[in-house]
């Protein structure tokens, strides 16, 4: 779910550049002038949509999921103006009446709920009171972020940090996904940290082997693969030798992938870790000019690596 897309039309080419999964559907709220815009994309093999509602500040999709009743999912982009914000709360209250019983709403609300959700604190405003009142009246869960206090900063030397982004969900949604966790992801280029609501945070079993299409683009892949295939020699019946050969080639592929593409991933991870450390300092109100410059340099390097990944 993306907010502030700043696009009048989200066509297949643009959506494909956002998420490369093959079986996808989407719905979008166009921009209003040069700002705003919302986009929701989903894997149509795993979730099928039954209904869509597009309003002034939100996009609502009704999903059918195996093993669950209907699930309503909303993406929102709240207005900055206190006058327009009243219409925002009315719109969300109307959606609450429509989506009963299982609803999850997430996005950029453009307002904090409590004084502690701004770095250094904040006086209690009418917008905060209205936001808190909407959550209480709708009886929505407001789970804490696991690994951060804020989701946005102005990225200045004396930073202003706020928690503007969150997920809220109903009691029935909580019953369907009782182990849900909400956390912040690394921030790459935006002034917002992305957030994720993981409804199944516990993973079991080994990671399966997957053939990567980017391998086919490497100039030496076919030659290496042919060499590995000829290299293996085994005994026994043909079916057994064939399975042993596949295992042998798989091991070779893993080592080759680590040596060929691993450095790219390691460099990307290092840069993301460095940016995360600088962002953490920012949330403690300690972003000095040299750190701001360092972050800008790292983000430039990150964009270059991401572009190389897309080429692969």
| pLDDT (tens digit per residue) in 203-250 | 666 667 778 877 887 888 999 999 999 998 877 788 878 888 898 999
User: For residues 148 and 146, what is the distance between their CA atoms, to the nearest angstrom?
Assistant: 6
pLDDT confidence of residue 117: 94
Q: Model-level pTM? A: 0.72
Residue 131 half-sphere exposure toward CB, CA atoms < 13 A = 24
**Does residue 76 contact residue 55 with C-beta atoms inside 8 Å?**
no
pLDDT digit string, tens, across residues 239-267: 878 888 898 999 899 888 888 777 777 88
103 CB neighbour count, 10 Å cutoff: 24
CB-based burial, 4-40: b 16+ in 10 Å, e otherwise: bbeeeebeeeebeeeeeeeebebbbbebeeeebbbbb
The DSSP call for residue 118 is B
One DSSP character per residue, 158-193 reads S--EE--EEEEE-HHHHHHSTT-EEEEPPPSSSSBP
DSSP β-bridge partners for residue 105 = 74, 168
Polymer length in residues for the chain: 312
**Does residue 228 contact residue 252 with C-beta atoms inside 8 Å?**
yes
Distances (CA, A) of 184 to 21, 31, 217: 23, 26, 33
**Domains in the chain: ranges and CATH:** 2-198 (3.60.10.10), 213-311 (no CATH)
**Does residue 18 contact residue 25 with C-beta atoms inside 8 Å?**
no
Which of these ranges, 64-78, 169-183, 283-297, has the smallest mean pLDDT?
283-297
pLDDT digit string, tens, across residues 63-97: 988 777 899 999 999 998 888 999 999 999 999 98
């Amino acid at each position: 779910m993306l907010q502030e897309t700043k696009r009048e039309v989200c066509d297949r080419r643009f959506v494909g550049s956002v998420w490369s999964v093959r079986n996808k559907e989407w719905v979008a709220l166009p921009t209003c002038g040069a700002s705003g815009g919302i986009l929701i994309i989903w894997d149509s093999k795993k979730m099928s949509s039954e209904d869509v509602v597009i309003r002034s500040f939100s996009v609502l999709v009704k999903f059918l999921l195996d093993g669950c009743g209907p699930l309503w999912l909303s993406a929102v982009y709240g207005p900055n103006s206190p006058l327009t914000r009243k219409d925002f709360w009315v719109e969300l209250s109307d959606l609450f009446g429509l989506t009963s019983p299982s609803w999850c709403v997430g996005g950029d609300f453009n307002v904090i709920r409590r004084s502690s959700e701004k770095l250094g604190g904040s006086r209690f405003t009418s917008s905060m009171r209205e936001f808190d009142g909407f959550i209480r009246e709708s009886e929505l869960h407001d789970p804490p972020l696991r690994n951060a206090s804020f989701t946005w900063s102005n990225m200045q030397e004396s930073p202003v940090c706020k928690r503007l982004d969150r997920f809220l969900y109903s009691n029935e949604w909580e019953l369907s996904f009782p182990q849900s966790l909400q956390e912040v992801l690394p921030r790459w280029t935006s002034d917002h940290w992305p957030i994720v609501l993981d409804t199944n945070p516990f993973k079991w079993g080994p990671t399966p082997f997957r053939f990567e299409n980017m391998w086919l683009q490497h100039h030496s892949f076919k030659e290496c693969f042919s060499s590995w295939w000829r290299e293996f020699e085994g005994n026994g019946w043909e079916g057994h030798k064939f399975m042993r050969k596949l295992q042998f080639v798989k091991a070779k592929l893993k080592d080759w992938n680590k040596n060929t593409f691993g450095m790219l991933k390691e460099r990307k991870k290092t840069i993301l870790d460095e940016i995360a450390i600088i962002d953490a300092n920012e949330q403690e109100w300690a972003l000095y000019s040299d750190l701001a410059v360092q972050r800008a340099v790292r983000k430039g390097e990150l964009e270059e690596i991401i572009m190389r990944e897309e080429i692969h």
